[in-house]
Amino acid sequence: MNKKSSTLAIHGGQPVRKQPLPWEFPGAHWIDHEELTNVAQVIKAQSPFRYYGPNCQFMVQQFEASARQQYQTPFALGVNSGTCALHIVLSAMGVGPGDEVLLPGYLWVSCVSAIIRCGAIPVLVDVDDTYCMDPHDCQQKISPRSKVIMLIHMSGAPGDIHAIQALAKQHQLLLLEDCAQANGAAFQGKPVGSFGDAAIFSLQLNKNITSGEGGLIVCHDEALYQRCFAIHDLGYARDQNGRLNPQDENNQCWGVGSRMSELTGAMALAQLQKLALITEHMRQCKWQIRSAIETIPGLSCRRILDPKGDSGAFLIVRFDRREICHDFVKALIAEGIQGPPGSLGCLPMTDWGLHWYFNITSLINKTSNAADGFPWSHPANAFHTEISYQAGSLPQADDFCQRSMLLTIASTLSQEDVNDIIEAFGKVARVLLENN
Ligand SMILES: *Cc1c(COP(=O)(O)O)cnc(C)c1O
């Protein structure tokens, strides 16, 4: 290699590439005439409400039917966001004051807010090198108050689902899979979302398929589905004409107003049909990159339990020390490994905001929406005074955050983009890692 091309761009050399990589939003790139056709159909029918209308097209219903097939569950319910989906499921599971919900410290803020808004107490569990919940730490954290394990399949790939499933069974806990970041992922051929008592997905713009906003609940038990249904709506069941039925005594509760609109359903239906293609493309690109870089001394890749089941949306790489990690990312970005201005394509995980428990200020400060401090003030939750959510609570998560980086794998990378990413990793590693 000539001297010019081996000089890093941060040291004044030529960058590997000058064009930004594509935006990271996987589903958005694939929005096309299928979405347009479905949405137009709803508009032409003048029927954007899912339960009745002058000429309802039942897009949400079709989306739910596809989802039942895709995720191998007998029940599916479209809702308006992943955040609400989490809240609805926990509420339907009866989670409330006095209950603990176990969740990993690498997460999304919605996971915590859903627990708090149910009036329960979150119990943080450390991660292992899958960057998902560590089953050993989970076992340590189970108490007589534990009610639900929330396993979050983070950054595109499944957590240790069999181990967590066994724990839930052994301790008679409910298992909720948060698949918002791993739609289309699988473990040993079985889709994420099919393992837990219930699972949720998100259709927000950053996710593997998108309708801008939207969410999905899937579950195995009919009574649980019916409770989710009532809660996602106005607290009651509906009859065959889509009208509220307040007389059904098994389904009289309080609703949160999270129905999915037909416009959302129309997009979600078209996107779900593309999920396999989208994840296949990301997985293929990601594993080319990963295979090329994982043998570089001085870095290691996140452990993926089943590469075939990786949705491929993210590459996580870990270094020996924080300084090296941060220098490496700066150098990669200078080589042109970044998206358009404003994108979060390539970053140290210290910049990954509300994905880490210790950045959630409302959790650390035990904030309440209510004047009386609920749920922290509830007598059944008095035990929370022994729990801290400050940085330092989860040694492995704290450590991995400091010295890991994350590269989002766009769903439209070309072979040239993939080659550039590989070349940039190699170029930066030759200078920064061998000197260390
Ligand atoms: C995005 C996300 C959610 C929330 O989904 P929204 O549709 O944005 O409300 C929940 N959990 C995880 C892990 C997420 O990444």
Strands 237-238 and 244-245: antiparallel
State mean pLDDT over 320-334.
98
Rounded Cα–Cα distance for residues 312 and 300 (Å): 17
Q: Is a pLDDT exceeding 90 seen at residue 417?
A: yes
Structure tokens at 97: 């004051």
State mean pLDDT over 205-213.
98
State mean pLDDT over 286-296.
97
Ligand 1 atom, smallest distance to 203 CA: 7
- DSSP strands (E only) in 7-59: none
Three-state SS at 331: helix
Q: What is the pLDDT of residue 434?
A: 73
All residues at 6 or more sequence positions from 372 whose CB lies less than 8 Å from its CB, including other chains: none
Rounded Cα–Cα distance for residues 219 and 286 (Å): 30
Q: Is a pLDDT exceeding 70 seen at residue 400?
A: yes
Three-state SS at 165: helix
Q: Is a pLDDT exceeding 60 seen at residue 4?
A: no
Q: Is a pLDDT exceeding 60 seen at residue 1?
A: no
Global pTM value: 0.97
Share of the chain above pLDDT 90, in %: 97
Rounded Cα–Cα distance for residues 317 and 313 (Å): 14
Q: Is a pLDDT exceeding 80 seen at residue 436?
A: no
Q: pLDDT (tens digit, 9 = 90+) per residue, 368-389?
A: 999 999 999 999 999 999 999 9
Nearest protein CA to atom 2 of ligand 1, as residue = 180
Q: Is a pLDDT exceeding 60 seen at residue 419?
A: yes
**DSSP code at position 127:** B
Count Cβ neighbours within 10 Å for each residue of 215-236 and write b for 16 or more, e otherwise. bbbbbbbeebbbbbbbbbbebb
Largest CA distance in the chain: 79
Count Cβ neighbours within 10 Å for each residue of 348-379 and write b for 16 or more, e otherwise. bbbebebbbbbebeebeebeeeeeeeebbebe
Q: How far is the CA of 119 from the centre of ligand 1 (A)?
A: 20
Q: pLDDT (tens digit, 9 = 90+) per residue, 304-326?
A: 999 999 999 999 999 999 999 99
pLDDT band for position 416 (cuts 50, 70, 90): very high
CA distances from 123 to 99, 118, 375, 425 (A): 10, 14, 14, 38
> Any idea what the Cα angle at residue 237 is, between residues 246 and 232, rounded to 5°?
120
State mean pLDDT over 8-31.
96
Q: Is a pLDDT exceeding 70 seen at residue 150?
A: yes
Contact criterion met (CB below 8 Å) for 88 and 258: yes
Rounded Cα–Cα distance for residues 336 and 216 (Å): 36
Strands 186-187 and 190-191: antiparallel
Q: What is the pLDDT of residue 5?
A: 77
Contact criterion met (CB below 8 Å) for 92 and 231: yes
Nearest protein CA to atom 3 of ligand 1, as residue = 82
Q: How far is the CA of 202 from the centre of ligand 1 (A)?
A: 6
Structure tokens at 417: 């983009």
Q: What is the pLDDT of residue 137?
A: 98
Rounded Cα–Cα distance for residues 61 and 38 (Å): 13
CA distances from 21 to 286, 403, 412, 418 (A): 14, 24, 9, 10
Share of the chain above pLDDT 70, in %: 99
H-state helical runs in 18-99: 33-44, 59-71, 82-92
All residues at 6 or more sequence positions from 52 whose CB lies less than 8 Å from its CB, including other chains: 241, 242, 243
Q: What is the pLDDT of residue 435?
A: 56
State mean pLDDT over 70-84.
98
State mean pLDDT over 50-72.
98
Q: How far is the CA of 239 from the centre of ligand 1 (A)?
A: 31
Q: How far is the CA of 310 from the centre of ligand 1 (A)?
A: 18
Structure tokens at 370: 């209510």
What number of other Cβ atoms are within 10 A of residue 190's Cβ?
15
Active site residues: 207
Ligand 1 pocket test target in 25, 109, 151, 181 with most atoms within 8 Å of CB: 181
Q: How far is the CA of 3 from the centre of ligand 1 (A)?
A: 46
Q: What is the pLDDT of residue 323?
A: 98
Q: Ligand 1 — pocket residues by CB below 6 A?
A: 81-83, 108, 110-111, 152, 178, 180-181, 202, 204, 215
